[in-house]
Amino acid sequence: MLFDLFKACVLGIVEGLTEYLPVSSTGHLLLMDHFFGFDDDEFGKAFVVLIQLGAILALLSIYFVRLWKIALALPNDAEARRFVIGVLIAFLPAAVIGALAYGVIKSVLFNVWIVCIMLIVGGLVLFWIDRLDLKPRYYDATRFSLPMYLGIGLIQCISMIPGVSRSGATIVGAMLLGADRRSAAEFSFYLAMPTMVGAFVYEVYKSRAELSAGNGLIIAVGFVTSFIAGWIVVKTFLDYVSRHGFGLFAWWRILVGALGLIGLALIG
């Protein structure tokens, strides 16, 4: 039981820390499953789905006031309506492709070799985007143009390949389309809300036969640690990338990907 609680705690922390950083939460969880067996029958899909809710609620709790103000402004503020439409436009490509290609993504792309390679490639992309001499035109995530929202949404679809990172794809896409680091990172939070909630609901539906009231303490530990870790990341990430860029996350991706490839070559 104690080891089960330890595994729940570790998985919750990994989910919360990596969900909003450009390092791929899915990739990290798949590697933990492969090398450490942290996703056995007791820690299967249903458990991962439930602890993801902790990370979602952490984000919503921090952005609740801003979301409430936007909601109140919708009847009278055209800019608020345009922003909400923009988020929905950015969300739709991944929602449509994810629903249509769910089986292929799960059966073909959920491969640890692909994860390791994409972690390394994504790290190199973060180094590249940090060194580009970009000329930002947007400094507020709520003020992007509608075509830009669509472009970010299309680029986000690349993150369906495990190891790419949803937040990483969103941030890189936003910066290439004219956003500065901070607004690009913040929009990745806004876009995470419908994307993660939609994915959560879809996974719950797909995993409904696995969900039960058993192991409540284990699920609670994973949920709480995911919430706390996610809350810390959301509160600190924007200031960090504004000052320091993405170098730390690029090095982390390359390190984890390289170690994963070495592990696969040596022990399979």
Q: Can you tell me the mean pLDDT for 139-153?
A: 96
Confidence of residue 45 (pLDDT cuts 50, 70, 90): low
Q: Which pair of tokens denotes residue 102?
A: 């769910």
Q: What is the DSSP string of 119-159?
A: HHHHHHHHHHHHHS-----B--GGG--HHHHHHHHHHHGGG
Whole-model pTM? 0.91
Place of tokens 């959560």: 200
How much is the average pLDDT of 262-266?
95
Give long-range contacts, CB 8 A cutoff, 24+ apart: 154-158.
154/93, 156/90, 156/93, 156/94, 156/191, 156/195, 157/93, 157/94, 157/97
Q: What are phi and psi of 162, to 5 degrees?
A: -60, 135
**pLDDT tens-digit profile of 3-23?**
778 888 998 999 999 999 999
Q: Sign of dihedral through CA atoms 245, 32, 254, 171?
A: negative
Are the CB atoms for 31 and 260 separated by under 8 Å? Answer: yes
Give the model's pLDDT for residue 258. Answer: 97
Q: What is the pLDDT of residues 93-123, one digit of tens each?
A: 998 998 888 788 878 888 999 999 999 999 9
